[in-house]
Structure 1
Amino acid sequence: MLGIIGAMDIEVDSLKNEMENPAINKIAGMDFYEGVIGGKDVVVVKCGIGKVNAAMCTQILADRYNVDAVINTGVAGSLNNDIDICDIVISTVAQEHDMDVTALGYEKGIIPDMDVSIFEADRKLVELTKKSAKEAGLDVKVFEGKVVSGDQFISTHEKKKSLKNSFGGDCAEMEGAAIAHVASLNNIPFLVIRAISDKADGGAHMDYPTFEKKAAANSILLLNEIIKNV
C-alpha cells in the first residue's frame, strides 16, 4: 500500500475524490482515506502544517497501515534561481534546516546522537517519478534536488540566501524532512515532491496565494501518473 501525505486540503482533496469507496478513519485528528486509485491500494491523508504534524502522520501510516512507501506531495518556495514558480522538485535528500545545536559544536541541521541527519529519498521512486513526469506531459520543468524543511515560511532574501549557502537546498517547505526522518527510521521508502509556489523571497507573501493552486494542481497531475506506474 502507498501512503500519500499532503499538508493542506488543496494538496490531497482531488485524490480523495478519485478514490473508490474509501474507508475513512480519524486518528489523532487526521482523516485517513484508505481505498483504491487507478487500481492501486492507497491511503491519503492531510497531515496539517508543520514538522510535528507531518512526523505524527507518517508514524501512523507505518504503525496502522504498514505502508510500503510514503510520498509527500505539496508546494514549496524555490531556493534555486534555476527553479521557477510552478516547476517541480523531486527530492534526492531532505534535511531539517531549523535543527540548530551549533552552541554545542554541531553544524546547522545536524541532529545530535543520530547517525543520519540528511535523509536520502528512495532511488527507485525518484526514477519512477521522473518517468511519470514525462508521461504526464507537464508544461513545467522537473528538477531533482534537496528539500529543506522547518517550521517557518521563508519570505526574505536573507533567509533564502542562508538556507542556500548553509544547506545547499533547492526548495524550502515545512513538512518533507520530518516525513523523511520518520520514514527512514521505519525503513520505509519515501519521496518528497514539491511544486514551486513562490521564490521564498520578499515577494513570497504575494506569490504564494497567487500560484498555490496551480502549483498544487501540477503536483497532483504528477502523483496520479505515479500511482499508475507504481
Structure 2
Amino acid sequence: MLGIIGAMDVEVNSIKSELENVEIKNIAAMDFYKGTLAGKEVVVVKCGVGKVNAAICAQILVSVFGVSALVNTGVAGSLNNDINICDIVVSTSALEHDMDVTALGYAKGVIPDMDQSEFKADENLIKLAKDSAEEAGLDVKIFEGKVVSGDRFIGTHEAKVYLRDTFNGDCAEMEGASIAHTAYLNKTPYVVIRAISDKADGGAQMDYPTFEAKAAENSIKLINCMIKNY
C-alpha cells in the first residue's frame, strides 16, 4: 500500500477525489484518506508545509497505516538550468540543505551521529515513476536528480547558486528530504516526485503562483499511473 504525501491541497486534492471506499482518519491535525484507486489500496494526505509536518506525516503513514512505500508529490524550484518549468524531477536522493553543524566540525548538510545524511531513493520506485510518466503521456521532460529540502522558500539567484554549488542539488523544496529521512530510519522505500513551478531565482515569486497549478497537475497524472501500476 502506497502512502502519498503532498504539502498543499493542490498537490493531492484530485487524487483524493478519485478514491473509492474512503475512510478518513484525523491524526496530528492531518486528514488521512485511505481508499482504493484502480483497485489498489492507498493512503493520501496533505501534510502541510515544512520539514516537521512532513516527517510527522511520514511516520504516521508507516506506524499507523503500515504503508509499504512513501511517495512525496508536489512542486519545486529548479536549481539545474537544464530543468525547466513544468518538467518533472524524480529523486535519486534527498538531503536537508539547512542542516548546518559546521561550528562543530561537520560539513554542511551532515546530520551528526547518523551514518548518512543523503538518503537514496528506492530504485524500483524510481523506475515505476519514470515508466508511469511515459504512460501518462506528459508533454514535459523527466529528470532523475537530487532533491534538497529546507524550511525556506528559495527565491534569489544567490540562494540558488549556493544550493547548486554546495550540494549539487537539482531542485529545492521544503518537505522531501525529511520524508526521505523518516523513510530511511524506518527502512521503508521512498521516492520524491516534483514538478517544477519556478526557477528558484529572482523571478521565483512571480513564476510560482503562475505555474503551481499546472506543475502540480503533471505530477498528479504521474502519481495516478504509479498507483495503478504499483
> Normalising TM by the smaller chain, what interval?
over 0.9
Which amino acid counterpart does residue 93 of structure 1 have in structure 2?
S
Establish whether residue 52 from structure 1 lines up as the match of residue 52 from structure 2. Answer: yes
Q: Which residue of 1 aligns with 2:179?
A: 179
The CA distance in 2 between the partners of 1:21 and 1:189, in whole Å, is 26
The CA distance in 1 between the partners of 2:82 and 2:65, in whole Å, is 38
Query: Helix, strand or coil for the counterpart of 2:64?
Result: helix
Q: Which residue of 1 aligns with 2:120?
A: 120
The CA distance in 2 between the partners of 1:227 and 1:27, in whole Å, is 23
When the two structures are superposed, what TM-score results if normalisation uses the length of structure 2?
0.99
Q: Over residues 75-122 of structure 1, what are the superposed CA-to-partner deviations in whole Å (9 max), with x where a residue is unaligned?
A: 000000000000000000000000000111111000000011000000
Instruction: Summarize the alignment of residues 138-149 of structure 1 with structure 2, pairs less than 5 Å apart.
Output: 138-149=138-149
Q: Which residue of 1 aligns with 2:66?
A: 66
Query: Helix, strand or coil for the counterpart of 2:3?
Result: strand
The CA distance in 2 between the partners of 1:62 and 1:129, in whole Å, is 21
The CA distance in 2 between the partners of 1:143 and 1:184, in whole Å, is 23
Instruction: Summarize the alignment of residues 28-43 of structure 1 with structure 2, pairs less than 5 Å apart.
Output: 28-43=28-43
Q: Over residues 167-216 of structure 1, what are the superposed CA-to-partner deviations in whole Å (9 max), with x where a residue is unaligned?
A: 00000000000000001100010000000000000000000000000000
Q: CA deviation at 1:38?
A: 1.0
The CA distance in 1 between the partners of 2:131 and 2:53, in whole Å, is 30
Q: CA deviation at 1:228?
A: 1.2
The CA distance in 2 between the partners of 1:142 and 1:217, in whole Å, is 15
Q: Which residue of 2 aligns with 1:84?
A: 84
Q: Which residue of 1 aligns with 2:98?
A: 98
| CA root-mean-square deviation | 0.4
Q: Over residues 42-101 of structure 1, what are the superposed CA-to-partner deviations in whole Å (9 max), with x where a residue is unaligned?
A: 000000000000000000001100100000000000000000000000000000000000
Which amino acid counterpart does residue 205 of structure 1 have in structure 2?
Q
Long gaps (5+) in structure 2: none
Q: Which residue of 2 aligns with 1:21?
A: 21
Q: CA deviation at 1:161?
A: 0.1
Instruction: Summarize the alignment of residues 165-176 of structure 1 with structure 2, pairs less than 5 Å apart.
Output: 165-176=165-176
Q: Over residues 14-43 of structure 1, what are the superposed CA-to-partner deviations in whole Å (9 max), with x where a residue is unaligned?
A: 011000021000000000000101110000
